Amino acid sequence: MTATLDPFAASPALMKKWMAVSTDIAASLEPSLVELVKIRASQLNACANCLNMHAAEARAKGETENRIYLLSAWREAPCYTQRERAALAWTEALTTLSAGHPQEAARRDLQAAFTDEEQVNLTLMINVINGWNRLAVGFGLWIETPATRAQGVAA
């Protein structure tokens, strides 16, 4: 894949701010939860770049292969906590808004598992990863990871 535009070169000042906000928001929640949310949103948005990058980051932070592989079927997999399930349901509800799915059940689970501040922080995190997905898919971005390099995958 060849990038059609480098957003960091085209708009360095705003991209620097976007990166800083992204980092601050990610730091407001536990790292394992953040990576699960990033991976699930990226699956829904078919963002190969972000899936590749965040699966590698999740592994580096101690996430297991099975939990990464099972994310697309998290409702049926018993390996996620209630808090993670609430975050994943909220991620899906917000990432697929255009599908017209009601958010009431996801919001109830979110409220039961997260403080008010955490609900806002998680919602911001979901917005951030959806924004990154759109930048990556829209401009054909690909960041190489050791896992893809080791298998001989070319960008």
pLDDT(101) > 80: no
pTM of the full predicted structure? 0.90
Residue 62 pLDDT level (bands cut at 50, 70, 90): very high
**How buried is residue 53: exposed, middle or buried, by Cβ count under 10 Å (0-12/13-18/19+)?**
buried
* CA–CA distance, 96 with 30 (Å, rounded to integer): 24
pLDDT(144) > 90: no
